[in-house]
Structure 1
Amino acid sequence: MAQTICVLPDEATKSALIEIAGDRSRPLEHILRACIILLAAERLSVQDVARQAGVNHPVVWRWQQRFAEAGVADPLRDKDPST
């Protein structure tokens, strides 16, 4: 199931994502999520984002969707397992 989401962060958001992606003291999952959003913002295909990030397509779609819905804070928050 392909999704079409265009990720276009503003400059402040992009700077925050770059900072997160480069901060090796953060959890690896946060770094990976920031990298996925940054790669998607370069208008790479889902296939290219997935390949470069080392994840599968549904992971890319999930984080693109969560970023589109709630901005940079949501991809950094782990989903509550009870929802």
Structure 2
Amino acid sequence: MDKEEQDKLEKIVRSSLSPVRLAQRAQIVLMASEGMRNQDIANALGIGRVKVSRWRNRYAQSGLAGIEHDLPR
């Protein structure tokens, strides 16, 4: 992850205008970039490990666009 992408994600996390889901996804990606394991991220955020894995994979595939929107159901 480059510095510009990291700055965007940090801005999303800090902004009170960011949707809660997007802020959480950005936090997942930032924590992963620090080398944290899925289980550790899940424990820190109080969510499931599968959810962490899903959003890490979506970010890896599509970048920021991958975490901005839910997939259609």
Aligned match of 2:29: 37
Residue in structure 2 matched with residue 70 of structure 1 by the alignment:
62
Structure 1 unaligned spans of 5+: 1-8
The structure richer in helix per residue is: 2
Identity %: 30
Query: Quick one: which of 33, 36, 50 aligns to 2:42?
Result: 50
For the pair 1:26 / 2:18, whether they are aligned, the reply is yes
TM-score, normalised with respect to structure 1: 0.83
Please report the TM-score for the alignment, with normalisation by the length of structure 2: 0.94
| Higher RCO (CA < 8 A, seq sep 6+) | 1
RMSD: 0.8
Name stretches of at least 5 consecutive residues in structure 2 with no aligned partner. none
Q: Which residue is 1:3 aligned to? A: none
How many residues in Structure 1 have an aligned counterpart in Structure 2? 73
